[in-house]
Amino acid sequence: MKVAFLFTNRCNAQCDHCATSCGPHKWETMDVKEIIRLMDEAVSLNGPRPIGFFITGGEPFLYYNALREIVEHGHSVGGVVSCVSNAFWAKDASAALAKLTPLKHAGLSAIGISTSEYHQAYIPLQRVIAAIQASKDLDLHVELKFSYRKSGLQPDQLRDLMGPAIQDIHFCCCRMSRSVRQGSHLPEDDFDLSQEVPREPCPAPTISVRENGDAFTCCSPGGFIEPLRLGNVRPNGLHDIKSAFDRGMLQKVLFEVGPVYFADAIRAQGFGNLLRQSYADVCDLCNHVLTESSLLAITNEVVEQLEVERLRSVFGELLTITSTSSGGDEGGPLLGFESAMQCNL
């Protein structure tokens, strides 16, 4: 299981493409004790299986002492802990090491450094380079997370600017999502839309907890939407959240097949013209079929039908078991219940 804590919406940057609309004038932050409690719950619900904790925001390094406490606890309960930052704190090599060394000792395993042409209006690229180099010196797994648009800074151009710092790290390039900061607008023809209908499943199913306690199926830009909302961790914790994540039919389709399942159903019903001609990636398609009202209506119908089929399958198996164990007598204990279910369905 993977659990992400977007534990603050405060950030010292205000990038136009920020789908969560974080910025310097936002102040909502989760209490450290609440995150520690949720970490403990996640471990107990997950059993002996590996668990990953992702700490992000906003900018988590704005609350450095809290970040270190969260990392330390996540590591102490057996989690693999990583965080994401824009590297504003890496003024030079020594400053970067001063910040990262205590986190490494606390149990931080990996760090993602985010940049883009929008980030660079606030955070000089030299700080990104210093943060990456310090991470490599400390043997932290480091990933450079880069979002780009068609007419802006391109991956190859960034590689040239980064020089040797980009060697031996994971360079994650993402086409900019249509989901941008509230109030911002990017021209449609500036998105790099290279896939007609992406056919992959969800790339990173994660229970993501926002700073207000809302939990979602997704941690990607555009993923914090009502159809993917699992509930709120206050006051009931993660139990129901994890149950919805594991057993929800919408989640099952997205994780195992992908949103293309709904796109195919939309086409089959004669509404393929409502789909776009191309998408940035699978997350872009997912956001579209779950936010455009006409497409969402069809998606909801498909999910409801799948739920009906699942119930029929479950009760059919129970009836077979009951009939066998009772010697085939008619009117077994579940027969009336099944009849009532079929009437309700």
What is the model's pLDDT at position 15? 85
Tell whether the model's pLDDT for residue 86 goes beyond 70: yes
Tokens of 151: 């007419």
Confidence grade of residue 342 (pLDDT, cut at 50, 70, 90): very low
d(Cα 310, Cα 12) in Å, to the nearest integer? 47
Position 66 scores a pLDDT of 97
Pair type for strands 52-56 and 2-6:
parallel
Is 213's pLDDT higher than 70?
yes
The first and second tokens of residue 227, run together, are: 């159809």
- The better pLDDT of the pair 338, 265 is held by 265
Q: Are 113 and 145 in contact (CB under 8 A)?
A: yes
**Does residue 37 or residue 279 have the better pLDDT?**
37
Task: Report whether 54 contacts 206 (CB < 8 A).
Answer: yes
Distances (CA, A) of 249 to 19, 55, 296, 339: 26, 27, 15, 23
* Beta-carbon contacts of residue 180 (< 8 Å; ≥ 6 apart): 16, 17, 18, 19, 186
174, 201 in Cβ contact below 8 A? no
pLDDT over 70, % of the chain: 85
How many residues are recorded in the chain? 345
Do the beta carbons of residue 156 and residue 166 sit within 8 Å?
Answer: no
DSSP class of residue 294? H
279-332 residue pLDDT tens = 888 888 999 999 999 999 999 999 999 999 988 886 665 556 555 555 554 443
Q: What is the pLDDT of residue 189?
A: 67
Dihedral sign, Cα of residue 184, residue 188, residue 193, residue 197:
positive
Please state, rounded to an integer, the average pLDDT across all residues of the chain: 87
SS3 16: coil
Q: Please indicate whether residue 209 or residue 219 has the higher confidence score (pLDDT).
A: 209
Chain center to CA of 23? 20
Percentage of the chain surpassing pLDDT 90? 63
Query: What is the structure's pLDDT at 331?
Result: 42
Residue-wise pLDDT tens digits, 13-26: 988 888 788 899 99
Q: Residue 160 is which amino acid?
A: D
Cα→Cα distances 27→7, 8, 21, 30, 87, Å: 11, 7, 12, 10, 20
Question: Given a cut of 80, is residue 182 above it in pLDDT?
Answer: no
Query: Is 303 in contact with 253 (CB distance < 8 Å)?
Result: yes
Give the pLDDT score at 84.
96
Measured distance CA(48)–CA(37) in Å, rounded? 18
* pLDDT score for 344: 34
Residue type, 135: S
CB 57 within 8 A of CB 22: yes
Task: Taking residues 258-273, report their average pLDDT.
Answer: 95
The better pLDDT of the pair 341, 170 is held by 170
Q: Which of 113, 109, 107 is closest to 165 using CA atoms? A: 113
Residue pLDDT, tens place only, 266-289? 999 999 999 988 888 888 899 999
The Cα 85–Cα 55 span in angstroms is: 9
Whether the CB-CB separation of 110 and 140 falls below 8 Å is answered with: yes
Instruction: Please state whether beta strands 207-209 and 214-216 pair in parallel, antiparallel, or not at all (unpaired).
Output: antiparallel
**Helices and strands of the chain, counted as H and E runs:** 11, 9
* Residue scoring higher pLDDT (193 or 276): 276
φ, ψ of residue 148 in degrees (nearest 5): -145, 155
Confidence of residue 340 (pLDDT cuts 50, 70, 90): very low
Residue 63 pLDDT > 80: yes
